[in-house]
Structure 1
Amino acid sequence: MDPKWETIDNIVKQWLYGTLSQQVLQSIIKIDANATEVWASIQPLFHENKDSKTIELDDELQNIVIGDSTIMEYCTRIKTITDILANIGVLVPERNMVIYAIYNLSQKYAHIATIIQHKKLVPNFLEMRSMLTLEERSMQKEQSHLVHASHSNNASTPSVLNAEHQNRNQNSHGNLFGNRFSSCGMVRPHAVDVMVVVGICSGMVEVEKGHRCTYQQN
């Protein structure tokens, strides 16, 4: 065999072997077989499984669900399945790819899915993917704003609680003077000028500036 041709033949064989699973490779490998003979051994295996593989892939395509995948991951899975089907001679119309993708989206994409379904001209697969990706980014941005707002509210809670605590302390200090009058059997005055209490007697309070305020005994 011509050395150049032998080199090319070996390259093709290595490529064919690289596309096979270990189980299939062990069933067809032969010593000193050329690329043509290797291909002749492989071809019947794939033709025998063509119908069952088509049914399996078509079922997977029709029942595919987005789950926790991103739109890009979801659409890539659909495209991969249709490419495998095309490789075994089964072409999936692009319109069908769009329909499969829309009908198996989760509920949060219901709005954009309805818009796509009611378009006068059904978008192609790439256009549909772009529309879904924009919707996904919009929802992610809205979710991010909600999380930020929630964190802001949680951060303000300690300040509110501290203010309420200070108000309670002020109220308790404000009532202290009045409670002392009640414990002495006195009734609080209706109005008192701003003054400093110097001493408390049995029924009289002496106050700075010479003013006196008499408290009625109970």
Structure 2
Amino acid sequence: MDPASPTRPGQNYLPSMQPPYKVSDHIDGTEPPVVDSEGYCTWKETDGLVLQWIYGTVNDTFLKQVIESNTTARNIWVKLENIFLNNKTTRAGQLNQQFSNLTLTACTSLDNYCQKLKELANQLVDVGQPVLDSRLVTQLVQGLPPEYVVISALINQLAPSWDDARTMLNHEEMHIKNQTHQGNPNMVLAATTEPPNNRGQPSTTQGRGSSQNRGGGRGYQGRNRGGRGYNRGRGNYSGGYSGGRGYPQPQQYQSWPNNP
């Protein structure tokens, strides 16, 4: 039980006592039997059991303020009711703040998050500020982290009940976990098996001769034949001095005929 709340005297507390025990007359102000009457001893024993049950319900902080000897369940109940009513406004403000600021990341799990929201809503009912189902669902969505953005939009659009919204979130949580479990290995595999893109990159392996590209033209200075240029053939070496298949060629001179 929340230490700031002494107990829950009121309509939500009494019904749990009435059907199984039929002891509401010990706390609702009904006059007890006369001391010397025939039924007083039985009433006294029952009242003692109700008193012990109330003591077991109250937290230690407020138990010290209400515990007494030679008292009745009704007297202790009235004390608790006064404490509860005196703290009602302050308690309502605290509960509203906790309810509005609660997030999934502050809880241990999605179930824990939903349980805390529901408990805070029930405590707000006890202080006279009931929480509508629509507000409970709205707060449920507002406290979700970014990875739930898709399901959050869907819940806002459909406006489901509290139970249906919880079911939708449970399914989305399973989907996110499966995606996380299956996504990382695939990403690593893709990163390790993807071949490098060598298109447009210069080759480090020289082909025939020292040329980088075959068919890249017939020389650095244009289409030159014989001794008219620096290049001959299909070499395209960056220095511009490759001839034939990439090796320098000696310039050819025409020989003169010998005189007889």
TM-score by length of 1: 0.64
Three-state SS of the structure 1 residue aligned to 2:144 is coil
CA distance in 1, matches of 2:131, 2:46: 35
Which of 172, 176, 183 is residue 146 of structure 1 equivalent to? 183
Partner amino acid, structure 2, of 1:146:
G
Structure 1 partner of 2:65: 27
Instruction: Write the distance in 2 (CA, Å) between the matches of 1:23 and 1:74.
Output: 26
Compute the displacement of 1:11 (Å).
Answer: 1.7
Separation (CA, whole Å) in 1 of partners of 2:132 and 2:91: 18
Secondary structure of the 2:108 match is: coil
Provide the rounded CA distance (Å) in 1 between the counterparts of 2:124 and 2:48: 29
Amino acid at match of 1:57: L
Which residue is equivalent to 2:45? 7
Tell me what 2:88 maps to.
50
Report the equivalent of 1:136. 173
2:130 matched residue in structure 1: 91
- Residues 1:102 and 1:21: Cα distance change in structure 2 (over 3 Å): same
Give the match's secondary structure for 2:104. coil
Higher-Rg structure is 2
User: Matched residues in 1 for 2:94 and 2:83: separation?
Assistant: 17
Residue 146 of structure 2 is matched in structure 1 by 107
Within 2, Cα distance between the matches of 1:65 and 1:117? Answer: 17
Q: How far has the Cα of 1:148 moved from its partner?
A: 5.5
Q: How many equivalent pairs are there?
A: 152
Q: Percent identity?
A: 23
2:155 to 112, 116, 124: 116
- Letter matched to residue 133 of structure 2: E
- Are residues 1:72 and 2:111 paired? yes
Unmatched runs of 5 consecutive residues or more in structure 1: 158-218
**2:56 is matched by which residue type in structure 1?**
G
Q: Residues 129-174 of structure 1: CA distance to partner in whole angstroms, max 9, x if unpaired?
A: 10011000111112222355579x5xx99xxxxxxxxxxxxxxxxx
Query: Please, which runs of 5 or more residues in structure 2 have no aligned partner?
Result: 1-34, 194-260
C-alpha distance in structure 1 between counterparts of 2:187 and 2:43, whole Å: 70
- Map Cα deviations across residues 4-40 of structure 1 (whole Å, 9 max, x no partner): 2222211211121112222211111111101011111
Alignment deviations for residues 171-208 of structure 1 (CA, whole Å, 9 cap, x no partner): xxxxxxxxxxxxxxxxxxxxxxxxxxxxxxxxxxxxxx
Q: Describe the shift of the 1:147–1:6 C-alpha distance in structure 2 as closer, same or farther (beyond 3 A).
A: farther
Q: CA RMSD in A?
A: 2.1
Give the whole-Å Cα distance in 2 for the aligned partners of 1:18 and 1:116.
41
Counterpart selection for 1:36 from 50, 55, 74: 74
Q: Which runs of 4+ in 1 moved over 2 A?
A: 1-4, 146-151
In 2, the alpha carbon distance for the partners of 1:117 and 1:26 equals 47
Q: 1:139 to 1:57 in 2, by over 3 A?
A: same
TM (norm. structure 2) is: 0.54
In structure 2, do the counterparts of structure 1 residues 148 and 13 end up closer, same or farther at CA, with 3 Å as the change threshold?
A: farther
